[in-house]
Chain A
Amino acid sequence: MQDAIPREIELDEATAGMTLAAAVLDQRGAILLPKDAPLSDSVLASLRRRGLRSCVIWAPLADDGASAEAAAARALCRLDSLFRHTGQDEANTHLLDLLRAYRNGTLA
């Protein structure tokens, strides 16, 4: 699925129509549902009965430019916050520049 990314969500947030991006396993490691299985109301009810709390689904990538731009802006803002105390450190500055480029999608 090229236009989607795996995202772990609480089972309460999962709705019928979503698709699993990773297999659901039971406590013994046995596969309950394979990767790419569609979720339906009955499947979700069954997972809740088994006490599952979260699952990994395919989440669509932001398809309009505005929300992608907002996400990129949030990521850059977060980087500035994470590096707030390392302004003078040369190596941290290099790392911050690389991560900015990475978040912008312009790193090689």
Chain B
Amino acid sequence: MICTDDVVKSVLALPSLPAVVNDLLATMEQEDFDMHVLAAKITLDQALTAKTLRLANSSFYGLQSKVTTMTQAVSVLGFHSIRTLVTACSVIASFSAQGSGTFDFKAFWRHSLASAVCARVIAPHLKVNPDSAFTAGLLHDLGTLVLATRFAEDYQQVLAWQHEHDCTTSAAEHAVFGIDHAAIGAALAAHWKFPEQIQAAVAGHHLAHPAGCVAPADLATAIVVANVLAHALDLADVDGDQVPPLSMPVWRTLALDNRAWARVFRDAEALFQATCQALIP
């Protein structure tokens, strides 16, 4: 039986992300940074450059002429989108080599991307930066990757438990590992020195606020909502999926009228389709 300590130790044994990713994430908390230096670093990585150009040329941006250089891509996409893309590619690459039984990686990334898109759409309603929200949404289930790739056999028990009890992933992980992906993700986010607001969002994406309190309008709340919306809009299209609980304090903080909700649903669905098209080959 795996214990919590084993899981935490395995997180600390994970390799570091490429330096450029840490440089990029650090810019999230900086007012001034040299965009050109970072863009030049990205250009050194051919795979990242190709993905970036592919995104800039996607139909979502509706450009007439072709984007062929990183400088053009920066002006089309904005630096923040490129930062997100590089982070996503690097995180995906750091886990993709691991085989893992019946764990559905495609569904995992569809939900991560769906949460990122929902976070971007909901962010303005919580006065949160949409680009930071997208990145945090993309990374919020990072802990699941640790469990599913480093403890692949034990993770089969999680999937079996979840199937048998028709419960949330967190509940099944607690039953098998004694810890869930939010806590593991937070440990990894700290190990990788992600910005503190992302660490908090990863740690808190399943937290329920006590009934009487008011949820803060911050990145962590945006990710709680984004995760719920991604499930509720059925964007990842997973059999047996279920919507996690949403607390009234969060609902009250959002305080959206029907028209605003309709726009959130529509925008999230449209942006998800466009982003999948650009990012998933």
**B is bound to A:** yes
Q: Give A residues with C-beta under 8 Å from B.
A: 6, 8, 22-23, 25, 27-31, 35, 53, 56, 78-79, 81-86, 89-92, 94-96, 98-99, 101-102, 107-108
The docked-state distance in angstroms from the alpha carbon of A83 to that of B26 is: 38
The yes or no answer to B57 lying at the interface (CB within 8 A) is yes
Partner of B245, one of A78, A81, A86: A86
Question: Once the chains bind, are B54 and A29 in contact (CB under 8 Å)?
Answer: yes
The docked-state distance in angstroms from the alpha carbon of A56 to that of B274 is: 10
22 A-B pairs in the complex with CB atoms less than 8 angstroms apart: A6-B273, A23-B58, A23-B59, A56-B277, A82-B232, A82-B241, A83-B242, A85-B243, A86-B242, A86-B246, A90-B248, A91-B246, A91-B250, A92-B246, A98-B262, A99-B232, A99-B265, A102-B261, A102-B262, A102-B265, A107-B258, A108-B257
Question: Once the chains bind, are B246 and A82 in contact (CB under 8 Å)?
Answer: no
CB neighbours (8 Å) of B54 from chain A are 25, 27-29
CB neighbours (8 Å) of B80 from chain A are none
CB neighbours (8 Å) of B53 from chain A are 28-29
Closest A residue to B247 using CB positions:
A91
CB neighbours (8 Å) of B59 from chain A are 22-23, 35
Question: Once the chains bind, are B281 and A27 in contact (CB under 8 Å)?
Answer: yes
The yes or no answer to B35 lying at the interface (CB within 8 A) is no
Given A8-B276, A99-B232, A108-B262, answer yes or no on A22-B243 (Cβ-Cβ < 8 Å).
no
The docked-state distance in angstroms from the alpha carbon of A92 to that of B71 is: 44
Question: Once the chains bind, are A107 and B232 in contact (CB under 8 Å)?
Answer: no
Question: Once the chains bind, are A91 and B251 in contact (CB under 8 Å)?
Answer: yes
Least CB distance, B72 to chain A, in whole angstroms: 11
Least CB distance, B97 to chain A, in whole angstroms: 20
Question: Once the chains bind, are B245 and A95 in contact (CB under 8 Å)?
Answer: no
User: Digit string of B229-254 for contact with A (CB within 8 Å is 1, else 0)?
Assistant: 00111100000011111111011000
The yes or no answer to B56 lying at the interface (CB within 8 A) is yes
Least CB distance, A87 to chain B, in whole angstroms: 11
Which one of B52, B245, B250, B257 has the highest number of Cβ atoms from chain A below 10 Å of its Cβ? B245
CB neighbours (8 Å) of A35 from chain B are 59
**Chain B stretch 202-216: residues in CB contact (< 8 A) with chain A:** none
Question: Once the chains bind, are B273 and A108 in contact (CB under 8 Å)?
Answer: no
Partner of A82, one of B67, B243, B262: B243
Partner of A25, one of B57, B232, B247, B248: B57
Least CB distance, A34 to chain B, in whole angstroms: 9
The yes or no answer to B160 lying at the interface (CB within 8 A) is no
Question: Once the chains bind, are B246 and A78 in contact (CB under 8 Å)?
Answer: no
CB neighbours (8 Å) of B17 from chain A are none
Closest B residue to A78 using CB positions:
B234
The docked-state distance in angstroms from the alpha carbon of A11 to that of B121 is: 31
User: Digit string of B58-74 for contact with A (CB within 8 Å is 1, else 0)?
Assistant: 11000000110000000
Seed contacts A29-B53, A79-B232, A86-B243; 10 additional CB < 8 Å A-B pairs: A25-B57, A27-B54, A27-B281, A29-B56, A85-B168, A90-B248, A91-B250, A98-B265, A101-B258, A108-B257
